Amino acid sequence: MPTCWLVPDDERHKPIQLLHYHTHTLGRGPETKIKDQKCSRQQVELRADCNRGVVSVKQLGSNPTSLDHVEVGRGNQVTFKPGQKLYMVNGLHPYTLQFREETSSSSSSSSSPSEVKHNPLKRARQERDADEERHQDVEKSCRVSASSCSHTPEKEPAGHWSQGLKGSMQDPDMQVYKDEKVVVIKDKYPKARFHWLVLPWSSISNLKALRSEHVELLRHMERVGERTARRCPGSGTLRFRLGYHAIPSMSHVHLHVISQDFDSPCLKNKKHWNSFTTEYFIESQDVIGMLERDGRVCVRDGAAELLKLPLRCHVCHAQFPTMPKLKEHIRVHLPS
């Protein structure tokens, strides 16, 4: 089984081994050498799954822990993966993950993560082995997918980031609702106070793969999305939209259910804003209508250019030069 190590970017202390399925509580103290008073002594709770190569992170402290500069939120839990960066508190004290195989016959495996980091040959050997293992995993996933599905295979390999929704669908911590046809999950990077995704269990890659036989499925997705919105706190004062991105970045067709306050730290740039406030966001009813009328969904030419449009308030249509200015303005439209 691989071993898991939490490695400080600034090398202020030795890597900390996270034992498989063992709960580790870290924060200010001698183990991390963090003296920052804003960092609680019990800032985060970490639990490694060495077989899957991930670590769950739960924020315990009152000041923000963040993953890739996205705040976790007190009491919330996120999945920390190799290649990502965990900031212990207030965007400071960064850490990365290392997973490596322990084998008694290999001299390189007896090296600590810090030794590997400073030995180019050992690091190259470790990276090569990891690449070979990932390649084998991807090939295996593709073989399983090809044998069990009748649809055209996805272009992206199984381990590609764009396939992330397929993992989230199976994650009980992400699920809000599920039935025999669909599952509702929380958006990992919500662009509003309430932001969910409704996904079918059937493997449908994107809007272009939809046909007239999918109309009833999409109607069911819409009903589930509307019910989810009605049951959320404050639904009486919030307005919701249900729709699809014209050119989604994530594979597997998904219906956005998003409140129109757009009050979220994850809403950061023009692309985010325009993807939900221009015609790039296609209403659920319009998608269903196209399938009923034409048997397919037609995405307008030049849809990607819509993401470059000027920043305009979705309520009063006032134009703003920057996202901070726009976000400051839209507060006047927030429900009290």
* Residue 125: predicted pLDDT: 55
* Residue 49: predicted pLDDT: 87
Q: Per residue in 176-230, pLDDT tens?
A: 999 999 999 999 999 999 999 999 999 898 999 999 999 999 999 999 999 999 9
Given pLDDT bands bounded at 50, 70 and 90, which one contains residue 336? Answer: low
Reply yes or no on whether the pLDDT at 110 is more than 80.
Answer: no
User: CA nearest 164: which of 130, 189, 132?
Assistant: 189
Q: Per residue in 159-185, pLDDT tens?
A: 443 456 778 888 888 899 999 999 999
User: CA nearest 331: which of 319, 308, 315?
Assistant: 315
* Residue 10: predicted pLDDT: 86
* Residue 163: predicted pLDDT: 58
Instruction: Please return the burial class of 161, using the count of CB atoms within 10 Å of its CB with bins 0-12, 13-18 and 19+.
Output: exposed
Q: Residues 85-99: what's their mean pLDDT? A: 93
Based on DSSP, count helices (H) and strands (E) in the chain, helices before strands.
7, 18
DSSP per position, 148-174? H--SPPPSS-TTSGGGHHHHHHT-TTT
* Residue 280: predicted pLDDT: 96
Query: Using an 8 Å Cβ cutoff, are 82 and 278 in contact?
Result: no
* CA pair distance 33, 30, nearest whole angstrom: 5
Question: Which sequence positions are flagged as catalytic?
Answer: 254
Q: What would the two tokens of residue 226 be?
A: 């509307």
* Residue 285: predicted pLDDT: 96
Query: Using an 8 Å Cβ cutoff, are 197 and 187 in contact?
Result: yes
* Residue 189: predicted pLDDT: 93
What are the φ and ψ backbone dihedral angles of 331, each rounded to 5 degrees?
A: -65, -30
Q: Residues 1-14: what's their mean pLDDT? A: 90
Amino acid code (one letter) for 327: K
Query: Using an 8 Å Cβ cutoff, are 97 and 125 in contact?
Result: no
Question: Measuring CA to CA, how many Å separate 207 from each of 203, 204, 279, 298, 336?
Answer: 12, 8, 15, 8, 36
* Residue 104: predicted pLDDT: 44
* Residue 52: predicted pLDDT: 84
Strands 311-312 and 86-89: unpaired
Given pLDDT bands bounded at 50, 70 and 90, which one contains residue 303? Answer: very high
Q: Which residues of 34-68 are buried (b: 16+ CB within 10 A; e: fewer)?
A: bebeebbeebbbbbbebeebbbebbbbbebbbbbe
Q: How far is CA 47 from the centre of its chain?
A: 19
* Residue 147: predicted pLDDT: 34
Average pLDDT value over all residues in the chain: 83
Question: Helices marked H in 199-266 — which ranges?
Answer: 215-230
* CA pair distance 90, 25, nearest whole angstrom: 18
Q: Residues 21-26: what's their mean pLDDT? A: 88
Length of the chain: 336
Q: Residues 263-277: what's their mean pLDDT? A: 96
Long-range contacts of residues 314-319, Cβ cutoff 8 Å, at least 24 apart: 314/260, 314/262, 314/276, 314/277
Strands 240-245 and 281-283: antiparallel
Reply yes or no on whether the pLDDT at 87 is more than 80.
Answer: yes
* Residue 263: predicted pLDDT: 94
Q: Per residue in 135-164, pLDDT tens?
A: 444 333 333 333 333 333 334 444 443 456
* CA pair distance 332, 309, nearest whole angstrom: 22
In this prediction, what percent of the chain has a pLDDT beyond 90? Answer: 62
